[in-house]
């Protein structure tokens, strides 16, 4: 009996040793796995940091390059403006182009002001141009008030309808109104800019224009206007084409564009700039 107990105790002791060894091995294995995982995570974090740093450096380089290019462009633009500024107006970054005014004819072009006014301003416009709208509604009224109404300046309206079919349609109507109701032309011209919406958004199609005339332009006969267009469409289109060709000869590439005397310039400029130019031209 004692011998059996001794054998059993010995077996239990050996089993405990085996279990202890197995446990230690499992522990070592688990620790090794955790170390591998942490090591892998560390590598991933370092790699991500390197990528982020590289991206930030690259972005800064690109931004710096863009700034340098922009600065260079502005410097070149400033040189060009200075070289082409033919009028001594003392206006920073303003330029005019020397042109031959003899290439400009008037034909049947609409105008406001006295025929014998001291200065004529030729104005190329598109009914859908938002910058023309800005000029017509903000600057032109002041020019009319200070110069046109006093007999000093005359403004001739030149078509440069390049923004789509609605622009051409509006020009057809404008020319018809000028021929049929010349005293109503400018009121209609102004109204078109007041209702201007998005480019080719519909305000310049024939139906919309006729509705506008019927609703807000008393004294204009829409049937007479449409009949005039139908009978004279080719002639009107040729006049529009001639205006655009003349504009091209004096450097008009967009709207609004202007010619005063032997100088041409573009842009919806503030009234103060027009005032400086007009006064200098009138005082020559």
pLDDT averaged over every residue in the chain:
80
- Judge if 128 and 28 occupy the same domain: no
Domain that holds residue 58: 1-84
Asked if residue 108 lies in contact with residue 238, where contact means CB atoms within 8 angstroms, the answer is: no
Distance CA 55, CA 57 (A): 5
The answer as to whether 15 is a domain residue is yes
Confidence band for 186, pLDDT divided at 50, 70 and 90? very high
Q: Is pLDDT above 70 for 118?
A: yes
- Judge if 265 and 127 occupy the same domain: yes
Distance CA 111, CA 275 (A): 20
Q: How many CB atoms lie within 10 A of CB 135?
A: 24
Distance CA 174, CA 190 (A): 11
Q: What per-residue confidence (pLDDT) applies to 94?
A: 87
Can you give the CATH number for the domain in which 170 is found?
A: 3.40.30.10
Confidence band for 60, pLDDT divided at 50, 70 and 90? very low
Sign of CA dihedral 160, 165, 168, 173: negative
Q: How many domains does the chain have?
A: 2
Contacts of 117 (CB under 8 A, 6+ apart): 148, 151, 152, 153, 154
């Amino acid at each position: 009996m004692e011998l059996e107990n001794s054998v059993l105790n010995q077996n239990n002791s050996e089993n405990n040793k085996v279990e202890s060894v197995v446990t230690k091995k499992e522990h070592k294995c688990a620790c090794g796995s955790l170390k591998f995982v942490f090591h892998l995570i560390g590598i991933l974090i370092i790699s991500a940091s390197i990528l982020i740093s590289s991206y930030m450096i690259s972005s800064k380089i690109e931004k710096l390059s863009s700034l340098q290019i922009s600065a260079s462009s502005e410097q070149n633009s400033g040189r060009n403006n200075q070289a082409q500024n033919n009028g001594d107006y003392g206006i920073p970054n303003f330029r005019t182009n020397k042109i031959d005014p003899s290439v400009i004819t008037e034909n049947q072009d609409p105008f406001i002001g006295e025929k014998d006014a001291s200065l004529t301003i030729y104005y190329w416009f598109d009914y859908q141009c938002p910058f023309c709208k800005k000029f017509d509604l903000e600057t032109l009224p002041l020019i009319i008030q200070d110069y046109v109404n006093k007999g000093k300046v005359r403004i001739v309206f030149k078509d440069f309808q390049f923004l789509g079919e609605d622009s051409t349609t509006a020009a057809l109507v404008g020319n018809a109104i000028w021929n049929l109701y010349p005293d109503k032309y400018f009121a209609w011209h102004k109204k078109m800019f007041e209702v201007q919406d998005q480019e080719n958004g519909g305000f310049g199609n024939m139906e919309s224009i006729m509705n506008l005339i019927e609703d807000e332009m008393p004294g204009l006969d829409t049937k007479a206007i449409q009949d005039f267009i139908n009978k004279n469409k080719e002639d009107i289109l040729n006049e529009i084409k001639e205006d655009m060709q003349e504009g091209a000869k004096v450097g008009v590439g967009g709207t609004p564009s202007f010619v005063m005397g032997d100088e041409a310039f573009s842009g919806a400029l503030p009234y103060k700039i027009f005032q400086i130019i007009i006064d200098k031209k009138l005082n020559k």
